[in-house]
């Protein structure tokens, strides 16, 4: 029997992005339903950001400790892999979401468990785990926040090889003796870092000439050097021609395009993602199943008055923090439209336009060393036709870096728009640089004039003095 219920807003997908939408909608006084087929908290909480960083934090802490005199001798031994995995399990709540459900209930959000699909304009049908059916209708908006999934390329033999994706890599119960990682993006880089330190012999196979191709090229150089020093085998400019794993069990062999072979106990494929929109009823509202959903700056799907798409599905920025930002934008826009308040191009908070998605995307890669970047790289700025100057500085030459770790190695780059005298992008690579990124994000998002940044005095002796050194170098001092 189908039960029909009406809400102001219906959100399809209960990851962090969907949670932020319902939080904003409820704060505006709108009745809200959330539909989720797996765990409330989504990919980020259980198979991506939280478990991966739980695995990486002990790795990075040990690496930092090994470079501190008086401490280094105490941290030379191997990591306790079992303890790290147990901590990972604790951080993800042992893959249970009761706490998330309690919070949603406390703010008045109705949760529907099951597979949700669009059922025509402003409607979502839900098939529950016990065969129950619900039809949810929305007075004002339906929001799609179903995220993305890993994509396995069409390599011969891969389909039957039981390859790991990011999910298996972050939830594995033990370290494989040998792990082959295919792909040099964020997932491949972070998981190669983690499992090499947790006891696996990692071979990283990358099709291009470096890691993290969207960052400045020097970032890859530092991380590759560190992986090799840690014992990993890094193969750049290498492609996998075939995968062999007879019967889908036992060792797996990668056949490379140059005829070389890599043998491993498990293989992680980290070469791309696709939107989870193939079975959510897009065809019932005239959209293509399996497609990314293009949106305007209020995250409303182009051509629609009621359908929104936030997070990975709109393909603007596949990062949790940007998806949550979009959720806040969409929630404010939905509330304003529901209350018939005109959306201004900019208001006091810029609450209805996702401008950071265009100019100030921050990202941290929790490798060893860390990499952090916001805004445009030098190459991106030049391709956009900007007249720019790149200012580079050795992070290890900053006093705070020398105190952070003996032999600190790192680099910073600031890309300056010479016509407007503002910072377009900043990139850091080195231990602990993730905590430097927000200052760079403020400079880029706020379009702070370089001559005003000169008066933002960094504390001594911190690594943030890199800002003074970059500005001095820019000014020619």
pLDDT tens-place string over residues 292-338: 999 999 999 999 999 999 999 999 999 999 999 999 999 999 999 99
Q: Which residues contact 73 (CB under 8 A, 6 or more apart)?
A: none
For the record, the structure tokens of 155 come out as 């390599």
In tens, the pLDDT along 17-42 reads: 999 999 999 999 999 999 999 999 99
Domain 369-475: which CATH class? alpha beta
Phi, psi of 43 (to 5 degrees): -55, -45
pTM of the prediction? Answer: 0.94
In the chain, domain spans: 2-41+97-149+275-356, 166-271, 369-475
Whole-Å CA distances, 477 to 338, 394, 450, 472: 55, 16, 15, 5
**What does the alpha-carbon distance between residue 367 and residue 428 come to, in Å, rounded to a whole number?**
12
**More confident of the two residues 400 and 344:** 400
What pLDDT does 71 receive? 95
* 371-392 tens-digit pLDDT: 999 999 999 999 999 999 999 9
CA distance 65 to 302: 50
**Alpha carbon 414 to chain centroid distance?**
22
2-41+97-149+275-356 to CATH, choices 3.40.50.720, 3.50.50.60, 3.40.50.10860, 1.10.300.10: 3.50.50.60
At 350 the pLDDT is 61
**Domains 166-271 and 369-475 are alike in CATH topology:** no
pLDDT digits (tens, 9 = 90+) for 255-279: 999 999 999 999 999 999 999 999 9
- At 340, the pLDDT band (50, 70, 90 cuts) reads confident
Average predicted confidence (pLDDT) for the chain: 95
| Whole-angstrom distance, CA of residue 4 vs CA of residue 15 | 24
Rounded CA gap, 138 and 37, in Å?
Answer: 19
Q: Does domain 166-271 have CATH number 3.90.1150.10?
A: no
- φ, ψ for residue 62 (rounded to 5)? -65, -45
């Amino acid at each position: 029997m189908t039960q029909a219920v009406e809400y102001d807003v219906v959100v399809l997908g209960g990851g962090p992005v969907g949670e932020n939408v319902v939080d904003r909608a409820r704060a505006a006084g709108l009745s809200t339903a959330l539909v989720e087929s797996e765990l409330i908290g989504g990919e980020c909480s259980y198979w991506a950001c939280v478990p991966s960083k739980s695995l990486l934090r002990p790795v990075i802490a040990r690496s930092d400790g090994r470079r501190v005199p008086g401490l280094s001798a105490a941290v030379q031994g191997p990591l306790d892999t079992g303890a790290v995995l147990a901590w990972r399990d604790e951080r993800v709540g042992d893959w249970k979401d009761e706490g998330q459900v309690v919070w949603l209930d406390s703010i008045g959000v109705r949760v529907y468990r099951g597979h949700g699909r669009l059922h025509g304009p402003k409607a979502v049908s839900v098939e529950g785990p016990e065969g129950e059916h619900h039809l949810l209708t929305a007075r004002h908006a339906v929001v799609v926040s179903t995220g993305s999934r890993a994509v396995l390329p069409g390599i011969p033999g891969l389909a039957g090889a039981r390859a790991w994706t990011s999910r298996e890599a972050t939830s594995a119960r033990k370290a494989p003796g040998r792990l082959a990682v295919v792909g040099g993006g964020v997932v491949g880089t972070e998981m190669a870092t983690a499992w090499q330190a947790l006891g696996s012999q990692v071979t990283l196979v990358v099709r291009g000439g470096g890691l993290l191709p969207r960052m400045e090229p020097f970032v890859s150089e530092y991380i590759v050097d560190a992986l090799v020093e840690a014992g990993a085998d890094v193969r750049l400019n290498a492609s996998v021609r075939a995968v062999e794993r007879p019967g889908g069990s036992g060792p797996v062999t990668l056949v490379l395009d140059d005829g070389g072979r890599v043998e491993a106990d498990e293989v992680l494929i980290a070469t791309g993602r696709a939107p989870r929109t193939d079975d959510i009823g897009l065809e019932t509202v005239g959209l293509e199943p399996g497609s990314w959903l293009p949106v305007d700056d209020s995250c409303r799907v182009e051509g629609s008055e009621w359908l929104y798409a936030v997070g990975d599905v709109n393909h603007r920025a596949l990062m949790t923090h940007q998806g949550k930002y979009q959720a806040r934008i969409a929630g404010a826009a939905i509330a304003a439209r529901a209350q018939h308040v005109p959306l201004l191009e900019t208001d006091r908070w810029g609450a209805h336009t996702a401008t950071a998605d265009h100019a100030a995307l921050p990202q941290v890669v929790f490798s060893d060393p860390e990499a952090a970047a916001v805004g445009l790289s030098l190459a991106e700025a030049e391709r956009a036709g900007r007249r720019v100057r790149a200012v580079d500085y050795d992070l290890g030459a900053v006093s705070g870096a020398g105190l952070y770790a003996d032999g600190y190695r790192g680099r910073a780059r600031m890309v300056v728009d010479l016509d407007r005298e503002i910072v377009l992008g900043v990139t850091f690579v080195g231990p602990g640089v993730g905590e430097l990124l927000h200052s760079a994000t403020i400079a880029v998002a706020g379009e702070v004039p370089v001559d005003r940044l000169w008066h933002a005095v960094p504390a001594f002796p911190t690594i943030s003095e890199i800002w003074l050194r970059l500005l001095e170098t820019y000014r020619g001092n």
